[in-house]
Amino acid sequence: MSNKLARPMVAVPDYLVGTIIVPDGVTLYPGDIVLANTYSTAISKNYSVFDATKPLTATLGEQMAIVINDGFEQLSDGRRPAGQPDYTKYEFIAGDVVTIIFLAPKLRFEVSYDAVTGTPVVGKFMYPTNDAYLLTVGVSIPAGTFSAMKVLALKDFRLGGQFGGEFASTAVAIVENPTPA
């Protein structure tokens, strides 16, 4: 089973923390990348929860946000578990309000290998791509892509709890946004 993990490794200013509502027919996981630039009309008198959309070629030059592990995972039967977190169970279903962090330069994140397409390598980049929620690993940032991260180090994250001494492989990356196209 995959262990989805995405968490900031530095203090994040409040103005970069937001919430989204998971769209119908979509399940999001920690580490997923979304565009969040319009407030949701699904919530009456809303002024703080954004709609989440999948990155598309036309929006890759805009600031994206990353879904982080927050709150509690949900089990397949809808219950919330007691005790230690199970990083294989973090999933956010349609209608859930989920915490995101907007990808601003110099923020550092720890992202599990299971939350990206490809294998992170120190010095390579992770960036959003057309029609995908997962970050993609590549040698350089594609032209016109704004929210990208450079891999600084690889480490293991101790899962703890019911997993005891097991670890999840993660990449430590810093947001390096080039000038938008």
pLDDT in tens, 49-68: 999 999 999 999 999 999 99
Predicted confidence band of residue 31 (pLDDT cuts 50, 70, 90): very high
Q: What amino acid is encoded at 44 in this protein? A: S
Number of H helices, E strands in the chain: 0, 12
- Cα Rg of the chain (Å, integer): 16
- pLDDT given at position 13: 95
List, edge to edge, every strand of the sheet that includes 65-67: 33-34, 65-67, 97-102, 17-21, 49-51
What is the structure's pLDDT at 181? 47
- Structure-model confidence comparison of residues 110 and 179, the more confident one: 110
What is the model's pLDDT at position 82?
60
Report which secondary-structure segment, H or E, holds 127.
strand 125-127
**Distances from the Cα of 139 to the Cαs of 136, 142, 169, in angstroms?**
10, 9, 20
In the chain, the percentage of residues whose pLDDT exceeds 70 is 82
